[in-house]
A and B are shown apart, each in its own frame.
Chain A
Amino acid sequence: MAPDMNEISDEQTGARVVRLTPPAGLHYHQYCYGQWIAPDCRTLLVFRYRELRRDSPIDLYRVNTDGKGYEIVAENAGWSTISVDGQFVFAGTAGGILRIPLSGGESDTVFRSDSYRGMSANAQTRDGRFLFCHAFGERGHELVRVQLDTGEAQVLFKTDYLMHLHLHDEGEGRLLATVRPPDLEWGIYTFDLDGGDFRKLPFTRSTNHFASLGCTGKVITTVHGGGNAIEIGTPGGASAEVLVEGEGFWHPTADSTGEWVACDTNWPDTGLMLVHVPTRRYRVLCFTGTSGGHPQWAHAHPRMSPDASYVVFDSDKSGITQTYAVFVPPEFKEELRG
């Protein structure tokens, strides 16, 4: 396919913004966390409605951060993960998990099951051994661990609620999700790779928008009810603390080191914020133009690249939601580091 890119400078901040997706289709990325940006940070995954119709099938595409290399990866795909070596995409489908070369080509089946309505491939351990999948269907929600060298799959737990599952500690052996664990109350928890040792985050006013703070072991969340803050907490800790406050922070995301956070804002939308965690200073990175309405396709859902060089976001400013990347000017970082 021909490259289709539209590069602008944000009118107020001057930051460079590249539209990554062709404007005729409705696109969105995989939200504020997950391993859908390649390890080299040059390629990422986006979804596209095959047609502009509410019941359209949704296909998975890859695209480079310069807007080139836009190619289909899988049809009818759900949440997907780029392998830790950057070579493959683990794509969730109704019948299981496919493994597809990121550069394109034939897929093979990693795990197959007809007992679920859908599956998503949420996290791969850094050693490459395990893939963690969220399976859902008539039995509710299940956390499935697939051992990639053998294809052996194991249901680690069943629950009536599992959401936002992703890798915690940048792969140091834990997972993070909103979940109602067996015999425990609903909440945001980290847990080990065997689906045990649940440690609850001490968030009392979370929007349920949260992310691992890189490799720090901590978790960040935005707060509801006009709290206008990002909070930071430690799994199993007694209380959370305010990281920054003063804007209507909405969906937070962090780089792999935990030094940088990005977060969109709403009520009012005062821009996509870049936050420096050590100094707790922040500034506007750009304006997304997202309408910020009720549908998910009206939310920016920023996702910071692991190397903190750019932030991916969605915007419906053109009337059809597209995925964009805003590149973080080095001088913004210098300013915030002080």
Chain B
Amino acid sequence: MGCERVARTDPETGVRILQLTSFPITHWHLGLGDFITPDGERLLIAANRFAGRNSPRDLYSIRADGDDFNFLLHDFSGGVICPRVQWVYTGCAGGVVRIPIEGGTAEVLWSPDCYTHIMVSARSSDGLWLFGQGRRKTDGSFDIVRISTETGEASVIVRASYVMPVLRSSANGERLVASIAPVGDDGKPLMPWGVWEFSSEGTDFRLVPFSRSTNHYCPMGSTGLVVTTAAHPGNALDVAAPGGCERVLARGTGFWHVSSDETGTWLASDTNWPDVGLQIVNSHTGKYATLCMTGASGGHPQWTHAHPVISPDARWVLFTSDRTGFQHVYLADIPPEFKKALSAA
């Protein structure tokens, strides 16, 4: 498909920003989850097929420098890149398929008949297992499913009446984090809705004790902690250990959507009410500074939110912006000197 990148520089901070998509239709990245390669070189993005509210959605892979913009699949749901990078796993037609990251033929990995769709959002660290949420055709409730990438063997590990995409916690072995309302086989609540950490077998639930979460949260890399933004006008990032205590990590601006690198040292968060720019936060010092302005309008629709995602190696931040009138995907470099200043005690 070629390359659609447009290079620009943030006028206030001088940070280099690469607009990865520019055809005038709606594009977005896949949000939180394992959709970026561990080395930060490739990622998955999505686009409406055409300009229209009823447009189908298509999945693409792209390099972080804007090259190799490859179409992968029509009508997908979620997406995960395996650790060895050659395969992309995604939901399609109520099942799960895998596709070469350069594009090609989709192979069915698992094809149950009981779900309207399965959103694939996480994998185990070794890439042997996928995790996703299947929406039941019968009653619209969700099954958190675990699927073997080698055999396609699958099992339901949790049933829920509500769930946000399941995320991998890189600490404590193979554990997961989700905002979820678990239910039993009879559909009755097992636990109250909340942000929970649990094992990859769907056991050992530990509540993340957020008291004012926006429900925008993420595992904080390998620290075992979970970070969230505080509900307006909290103007803070709160951090908590599953089953432990909550504390303020940083405060003073309208943090909105937060993301962490693999070490848990670096966080990225957009801001709103007011938008003072995309913030980079050092979790050790609590210092933060504006990396760039996203230009996202910050309105009600999801396509007006920046949804920043920091790369696993904290080299760049991905975000979306509707500044041109169309939501596109952007990538802002994090200059080393920027990190140095925030790391200073």
- A interface residues, Cβ below 8 angstroms from B: 26, 51-54, 56, 291-295, 297-298, 316, 318-321
Contacts and interface: CB of A to CB of B under 8 A. Distances in A.
Contact of B22 (A51, A56, A291, A318): A291
A297 B50 contact: no
Contact of B24 (A292, A293, A294, A319): A319
Nearest to A56: B50
B8 interface: yes
A292 B19 CA distance: 11
Contacts of B7: 293
16 contacts: A51-B50, A52-B23, A52-B24, A54-B1, A54-B25, A56-B50, A291-B8, A291-B19, A294-B3, A297-B23, A316-B22, A316-B24, A318-B325, A319-B326, A320-B24, A321-B24
B99 to A, nearest CB: 18
Contacts of B325: 318-320
A53 B49 contact: yes
A51 B51 CA distance: 8
B50 A294 contact: no
B8 A294 contact: no
Contacts of A319: 24, 324-326
Given A293-B4, A294-B6, A319-B325, 5 more contacts: A51-B50, A291-B19, A295-B3, A295-B22, A320-B24
B136 interface: no
Interface of B: 1-8, 19, 22-25, 49-51, 66, 324-326
Nearest to B51: A52
A297 to B, nearest CB: 7
A54 B1 CA distance: 9
A105 B163 CA distance: 59
Contacts of B22: 291, 293, 295, 297-298, 316
A54 B23 CA distance: 7
A301 to B, nearest CB: 16
Given A51-B51, A53-B49, A295 B23 contact: yes
A53 B49 CA distance: 6
8 interchain residue pairs of minimum CB distance = A293-B6, A319-B325, A319-B324, A52-B51, A53-B50, A320-B24, A291-B6, A294-B3
A26 B4 CA distance: 15
Nearest to A295: B4
B208 to A, nearest CB: 39
A248 to B, nearest CB: 14
Nearest to B18: A293
B3 to A, nearest CB: 5
Contacts of A294: 2-6, 66
Nearest to B24: A320
A186 B22 CA distance: 32
Considering residues A297, A316, A320, which has the most beta carbons from chain B within 10 angstroms of its beta carbon?
A: A320
A180 to B, nearest CB: 23
B25 A53 contact: yes
A293 B19 contact: yes
B51 to A, nearest CB: 4
Nearest to B71: A54
A322 to B, nearest CB: 11
A316 B324 CA distance: 9
A315 to B, nearest CB: 12
Given A298-B22, A318-B325, A320-B24, A292 B6 contact: yes
Contact of A53 (B3, B51, B326): B51
Contacts of A316: 22, 24, 324
Contacts of A54: 1, 23, 25
Contacts of B3: 294-295
A113 to B, nearest CB: 28
Contacts of B2: 294-295
B1 A26 contact: no
B252 to A, nearest CB: 33
Contacts of B23: 52, 54, 295, 297
Nearest to B3: A294
Nearest to B324: A319
Of the listed residues B1, B24, B49, the one surrounded by the most CB atoms of chain A closer than 10 A to its CB is B24
Nearest to B19: A293
Contact of B5 (A53, A56, A293, A297): A293
A29 B4 CA distance: 19
Nearest to B67: A294
A320 B325 CA distance: 8
B10 to A, nearest CB: 15
Contacts of B25: 52-54
Nearest to A23: B325
Contacts of A295: 2-4, 6, 22-23
A54 B325 CA distance: 17
A292 B5 CA distance: 10
A332 B22 CA distance: 34
A53 B23 CA distance: 8
A291 B66 CA distance: 15
A53 B27 CA distance: 12
